[in-house]
C-alpha cells in the first residue's frame, strides 16, 4: 500500500469514534476511514500515551464495592456526553457502569421476589401444557371418530354394492 497522508479531519473523525460514547473497535474505525488497522492502532497507542484514552480494564479489577456504588451515584444523573467525559477522566468505560448497575439491581432484588416470579412462570407454563394436552386429547378423539365413520361408510357402501349385484 502506498504511504500517503491522511486528512486531519478524517483522522479526527476516526479518533472521535474510538472514544466514548462510540467506542468503536479498531477494525470498525479502519473500515470506516479506509485505512489499515495498523494505522488506527498507532493512533490509539498515541492517544493512550497522551492520556486521552485509558487502556481497557476489567470492570471489577480495581474498584471496591463502595467505590462502584459511589461512582454509580455520581453518574446517575449525567447526560451521555457528561458521562463520557467522566469515564475518560476516571479511566472507565460506559460499559463498566452499565454492568455495575445491573449487578447492583440484581443484588438488591429480593430473593423472595425472584422465587415468586419463577413460580408464577412455572405455573403459567404448566397451565399452558395442560391446555395443549387437553386439546390434543380432544383432537385424537375426533380423529378416531372420523376414522370409525369412514370405515362404517366403506362397509355400508360394500353392502349396498353386494345387494345390487344380487
CB 84 within 8 A of CB 21: yes
Q: What is the SS3 assignment for 81?
A: helix
CA dist 30 and 51 (Å) reads 21
22 in a structural domain? yes
What percent of the chain clears pLDDT 90, i.e. is strictly above it? Answer: 31
Q: Which CATH number belongs to the domain containing residue 20 in this structure?
A: 1.10.10
Tell me the pLDDT tens digit for each residue of 49-96: 776 766 654 545 678 888 888 999 999 999 989 998 998 888 888 888
Mean pLDDT of the chain: 85
Cα-based torsion angle of the residue sequence 8, 9, 15, 16 in order, rounded to the nearest 10 degrees: 160
58 in a structural domain? no
Angle at which helices 65-75 and 80-90 cross, to 10°: 150
- Output 6 or 107, whichever has higher pLDDT: 6
98 in a structural domain? no
Domain total in the chain: 1
135 in a structural domain? no
CA distances from 117 to 104, 147, 156 (A): 19, 45, 59
What is the extent of the structural domain holding 34? 1-53
Amino acid at each position: 500500500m502506498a504511504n500517503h497522508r491522511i486528512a486531519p479531519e478524517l483522522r479526527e473523525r476516526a479518533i472521535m469514534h474510538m472514544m466514548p460514547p462510540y467506542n468503536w473497535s479498531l477494525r470498525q474505525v479502519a473500515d470506516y476511514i479506509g485505512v489499515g488497522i495498523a494505522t488506527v492502532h498507532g493512533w490509539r497507542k498515541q492517544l493512550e500515551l497522551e492520556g486521552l484514552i485509558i487502556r481497557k480494564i476489567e470492570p471489577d479489577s480495581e474498584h471496591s464495592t463502595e467505590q462502584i456504588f459511589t461512582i454509580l451515584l455520581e453518574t446517575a444523573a449525567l447526560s451521555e456526553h457528561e458521562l463520557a467525559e467522566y469515564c475518560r477522566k476516571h479511566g472507565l468505560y460506559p460499559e463498566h457502569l452499565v454492568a455495575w448497575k445491573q449487578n447492583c439491581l440484581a443484588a438488591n432484588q429480593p430473593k423472595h421476589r425472584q422465587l415468586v416470579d419463577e413460580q408464577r412462570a412455572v405455573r403459567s407454563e404448566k397451565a399452558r401444557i395442560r391446555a395443549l394436552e387437553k386439546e390434543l386429547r380432544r383432537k385424537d378423539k375426533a380423529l378416531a371418530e372420523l376414522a370409525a365413520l369412514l370405515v362404517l361408510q366403506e362397509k355400508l357402501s360394500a353392502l349396498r354394492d353386494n345387494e345390487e349385484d344380487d
